[in-house]
Structure 1
Amino acid sequence: MSGTLYTFPNSFRSNKILVAAEYSGHKVTVDPAFVVGETDKSEAFLKKFPFGKVPAYESGDIRLFETNAIAYYVGNAQTRGADKEAEVLQWISFADNVVQPAACTWVYPTMGIMQFNKQNTEKAKSDLKAALTTLNTYLSTRTFLVGERVTQADITLACTFCMLYEHVMEPAFRDAYGNVNRWFVTLVNQPEFKSVLGEVKLCSKMAQFDKKKFDEIHGKAGGKKGGEDKKGKGQQTGAGDSKPKPKSEPKAEEQPAQTKPKKDPWAGLPETTFDMDAFKREYSNDKSTGHLQSIKYFWEHFDKEKYSLWTSTYKFPEEFALGFMAGNLVEGMHQRIEGTRKHCMAWQQIYGRDKKPKYRLTGLWFWRGQDLLFLRNESWQVDYESFDWRKLDPGSDEAKKMVEFYFNGPETDGEYEIKDTKVFK
């Protein structure tokens, strides 16, 4: 078995795939010619992978674009968990939906990728402490997460924890979680892990927000003089540093904009007549019943050629034991996509009922462009894979009903009662 993986170097998502392949013996070749922002935007690539997502995998007629699906495919009975696949999937979900969002919220600002927000960072630390405490107890009688051998559960969670251990989980923080530390160190020192990750060095001091690096990465998106030269220089530091200790430097996945950090995510889109700021003011000031005034304004001014309408549905509603958990997830997501606010607006509604699943999270979004806006910037992609996305035809009756439904924020959708509406504007 063999195939080609399209990705950029040191992607923590791709590492999950490559480590699985090491265990199964599946030969995976990383395309050396891949350039993020170019290869994945090319006609040839989009013909194979219409969503333009990476990592992407090709083997004969098989073409896959979701990390977990690719890892499953290149794995074997051991990594899949044999007769315990549900338990493996449980921990993969835990890594993707509990650990990863909190890890990115905490680590990315220290690398200049995201703006620092004290409240969100403290909440991320709190969420991680809760997750680590539970995991530490669970591992007190276990070597691995599922069964007696390494599975994709261990691979996915360990690769997700790498950025934490390498950048922010200093000894004073991690010492309380001895069982987790033992589990992590055991894994990253396995030959299959080391062949992909190299030598993983645990940080000795917690990294802090790097405002200078943040300004360098984000301050030139508007085209400051000399930005291109400095952008190239920025790429030579960090993950591409020539120092002999690359694993102590930030990885490319942890600096997702590193290949072309200064590029404006909205560059190349045609001009539009739709004034997003004007619409947001209209919506915010609309006191009419059912938001009829802003609905009318929306359809009179909406540029359906330059903007697109989408619905979102959270894939894992069973995770919401309490309603506030859904609210916290949405607030964290909105903070992480702050950079989209100029060209995006969304309504995310949390509904509840008595029987299981007790809650569900759905939404209506519109943004500039016809593709998924999350694909325009790697740092916006923390949460979007946890949702099912569906593009609406703006001329359809369904689109009109959806706009009316979400603008109004009805008390019920017929089965669930509304608990909260989070508007991103």
Structure 2
Amino acid sequence: MAAGTLYTYPENWRAFKAQIAAQYSGAALKVASSAPAFTFGQTNRTPAFLNNFPQGKVPAYQGDDGFCLFESNAIAHYLGNDVLRGATPQASAQVLQWVSFADSEIVPPASTWVFPTLGIMQFNKQATEQAKEDVKKVLGVLNQHLNTRTFLVGERVSLADITVACSMLWLYKQVLEPSFRQPYPNVTRWFVTCVNQPQFKTVLGEVKLCEKMAQFDAKKFAEMQPKKDAPPKKEKVPKEAAKPQEKKEKKKEEKKPEPEEMDDCDAALAAEPKTKDPFAELPKSTFIMDDFKRKYSNEDTLTVAVPHFWENFDPEGYSIWYAEYKYPQELTEVFKSCNLISGMFQRLDKLRKNAFASVLLFGTSNNSCISGIWIFRGQNLAFTLCPDWQIDYESYDWRKLDANSEECKTMVKEYFSWEGEFKHVGKAVNQGKIFK
């Protein structure tokens, strides 16, 4: 029987999967989620932790025998038993099917919709509306499957139920109000059945379903952001008093105690290299990217965001580029192509303060193409400024646009609003649906 420690932070739904699996299998699992055993952001940066878990991510599992695992699904699988994993090859494959379904179809839209309501992420109106539609599709699939079933696989709880239920936990707690979930009674019946199992309740406690859909709270989001300490104000000192003051300060400094020796955690933090801002050498611009993004995220695109963009755009400080994916013949399933786009955006997260992009997928499965409009600080492609940004961009053809041209104004309008003629896109592909 497995025995070990699960490192995580409090209320981590990914860790819940492993904890519930351990409840069913009887695995001896200790949870380290608070000081002194574990402090997220500190302990997981120490050399000792990184030696076992190179990415420093949690949940992370270390067995009493030294066996280490990262990735929540793998940990839950290891801590479970044969009943949870699927007693037959067919059942095992079905469990894996639903585990993958949760990661690819539930988690992305759930995060996009729920995180802003928790103050974790900035609100984006268009992304949230799309996420709601994606959640409806997920609920429809589950509702149909559960029409004649109590659980997702077989007649007993499996890792499929544990994984999918945990992935939907914050949806049910934050945004799936009664009117929204009303068309999907089978899903709600299944979810309530799961979270009321003793093994679930031991980990999750009492789960209360949402009564009113939570909304984005700008004040809460601002409070959640890390605050920078304001520099102390310098007071003017009279000339005749300056010299004695200097002596006093010097004397005070001499009495300072020797700094304490750093522990492993502090040493690891101090050793982290300080990265230089790749845009530090560029002159300041009058165009404030964050102002535009707020307009684009929260207000109407065509009547507010696009006019704001052109009224404030600084062609000296920023440039506009058209990008087209080089290998459309390799694009197969629509969801894989969408993942290609979202994966690039995730890898470019640190570029978001100095760039904006609207990238669309046109067509249908096995007959599609990807193209988009990108706005960068400066007059050159930003990808070359940092090695971490160079993973995807060479797969695209890039063309700098003249901000004063009608072609540029039309493309900005169409790509920003996700609608238009898109005359530059191949005719056959353009007749298909715009997916992103």
Q: Please give the TM-score of this superposition, normalised by the length of structure 2.
A: 0.60
- The corresponding residue for 2:26 is 25
Q: Give the C-alpha shift of residue 97 in structure 1.
A: 1.2
* Cα distance, 1:282–1:191 mapped onto 2, change above 3 Å: same
Can you give the 5+ residue segments of structure 1 that lack an aligned partner in the other structure? Answer: 227-264, 288-316, 374-398, 411-418, 421-425
* Cα distance, 1:327–1:336 mapped onto 2, change above 3 Å: same
The answer on 1:77 being equivalent to 2:77 is: no
* Cα distance, 1:135–1:354 mapped onto 2, change above 3 Å: closer
Q: Give the C-alpha shift of residue 76 in structure 1.
A: 0.8
Q: CA separation in 2, counterparts of 1:336 and 1:205?
A: 34
The answer on 1:126 being equivalent to 2:133 is: yes
Q: Please give the TM-score of this superposition, normalised by the length of structure 1.
A: 0.62
Q: Which of these residues, 134, 145, 155, is aligned with residue 152 of structure 2?
A: 145
Q: CA separation in 2, counterparts of 1:182 and 1:273?
A: 51
Q: CA separation in 1, counterparts of 2:353 and 2:114?
A: 25
Q: CA separation in 1, counterparts of 2:125 and 2:69?
A: 38
Q: Is the 8 A contact 2:383 2:393 kept in 1?
A: no
- The corresponding residue for 1:34 is 38
Q: Which of these residues, 154, 171, 174, is aligned with residue 164 of structure 1?
A: 171
Matches within 5 A, 1:371-390: none
Q: CA separation in 1, counterparts of 2:93 and 2:316?
A: 47
* Cα distance, 1:225–1:408 mapped onto 2, change above 3 Å: same
* Cα distance, 1:26–1:404 mapped onto 2, change above 3 Å: closer
- The corresponding residue for 2:224 is 217
- The corresponding residue for 2:100 is 93
Q: Is the 8 A contact 1:343 1:367 kept in 2?
A: no
Which structure has the larger Rg over C-alpha atoms? 2
Q: CA separation in 1, counterparts of 2:73 and 2:369?
A: 25
* Cα distance, 1:9–1:354 mapped onto 2, change above 3 Å: closer
* Cα distance, 1:221–1:277 mapped onto 2, change above 3 Å: farther
- The corresponding residue for 1:322 is 334
Can you give the 5+ residue segments of structure 2 that lack an aligned partner in the other structure? Answer: 233-268, 284-314, 323-329, 371-381, 400-428, 431-436
Q: Is the 8 A contact 2:278 2:386 kept in 1?
A: no
Q: Give the C-alpha shift of residue 321 in structure 1.
A: 3.3
Q: CA separation in 2, counterparts of 1:278 and 1:85?
A: 56
SS in structure 2 at match of 1:270: coil
SS in structure 1 at match of 2:168: helix
* Cα distance, 1:179–1:98 mapped onto 2, change above 3 Å: same
* Cα distance, 1:407–1:170 mapped onto 2, change above 3 Å: closer
Q: CA separation in 1, counterparts of 2:116 and 2:132?
A: 13
Q: Which of these residues, 345, 352, 367, is aligned with residue 341 of structure 1?
A: 352
Q: Is the 8 A contact 2:7 2:61 kept in 1?
A: yes
* Cα distance, 1:2–1:109 mapped onto 2, change above 3 Å: same
User: What one-letter code is carried by the residue in structure 1 that aligns with 2:19?
Assistant: L
Q: Is the 8 A contact 2:86 2:95 kept in 1?
A: yes
* Cα distance, 1:332–1:104 mapped onto 2, change above 3 Å: farther
Q: Give the C-alpha shift of residue 36 in structure 1.
A: 0.5
* Cα distance, 1:186–1:353 mapped onto 2, change above 3 Å: closer
Q: Which of these residues, 204, 218, 239, is aligned with residue 197 of structure 1?
A: 204
Q: CA separation in 2, counterparts of 1:407 and 1:329?
A: 12
Q: Give the C-alpha shift of residue 180 in structure 1.
A: 0.3
- The corresponding residue for 2:73 is 68
Matches within 5 A, 1:244-393: 269-272=273-276, 274-275=278-279, 284=319, 321-322=333-334, 326-327=337-338, 330-331=341-342, 334=345, 341-342=352-353
Q: Is the 8 A contact 1:345 1:367 kept in 2?
A: no
Q: CA separation in 2, counterparts of 1:225 and 1:199?
A: 45
* Cα distance, 1:43–1:348 mapped onto 2, change above 3 Å: farther
- The corresponding residue for 2:11 is 10
- The corresponding residue for 1:413 is none
* Cα distance, 1:136–1:34 mapped onto 2, change above 3 Å: same
- The corresponding residue for 2:423 is none
Q: Give the C-alpha shift of residue 51 in structure 1.
A: 1.2
Q: CA separation in 2, counterparts of 1:7 and 1:328?
A: 27
Q: Is the 8 A contact 2:20 2:203 kept in 1?
A: yes
- The corresponding residue for 1:406 is 395
Q: CA separation in 2, counterparts of 1:17 and 1:368?
A: 40
Q: Is the 8 A contact 1:19 1:193 kept in 2?
A: yes
Q: Give the C-alpha shift of residue 327 in structure 1.
A: 3.1
Q: Is the 8 A contact 1:79 1:150 kept in 2?
A: yes
Q: Which of these residues, 43, 51, 56, is aligned with residue 47 of structure 2?
A: 43
Q: Give the C-alpha shift of residue 205 in structure 1.
A: 0.9
- The corresponding residue for 2:238 is none
User: What one-letter code is carried by the residue in structure 2 that aligns with 1:172?
Assistant: S
CA-atom RMSD in angstroms: 4.4
* Cα distance, 1:366–1:35 mapped onto 2, change above 3 Å: farther
User: What one-letter code is carried by the residue in structure 1 that aligns with 2:95?
Assistant: V
SS in structure 2 at match of 1:30: strand
The answer on 1:176 being equivalent to 2:183 is: yes
| Cα-to-partner distance string for 1:348-386 (whole Å, 9 max, x where unaligned) | 998999989x999xxxx969999x99xxxxxxxxxxxxx
User: What one-letter code is carried by the residue in structure 2 that aligns with 1:26?
Assistant: A
* Cα distance, 1:46–1:346 mapped onto 2, change above 3 Å: farther
- The corresponding residue for 1:258 is none
Q: Give the C-alpha shift of residue 407 in structure 1.
A: 5.4
Q: Give the C-alpha shift of residue 329 in structure 1.
A: 7.1
Q: Is the 8 A contact 1:346 1:366 kept in 2?
A: no
| Cα-to-partner distance string for 1:270-298 (whole Å, 9 max, x where unaligned) | 142733795999995689xxxxxxxxxxx
Percent of counterpart pairs with the same letter? 47
Aligned residue pairs, count: 310
SS in structure 1 at match of 2:30: strand
* Cα distance, 1:329–1:223 mapped onto 2, change above 3 Å: farther
Q: CA separation in 2, counterparts of 1:53 and 1:92?
A: 20
* Cα distance, 1:333–1:281 mapped onto 2, change above 3 Å: farther
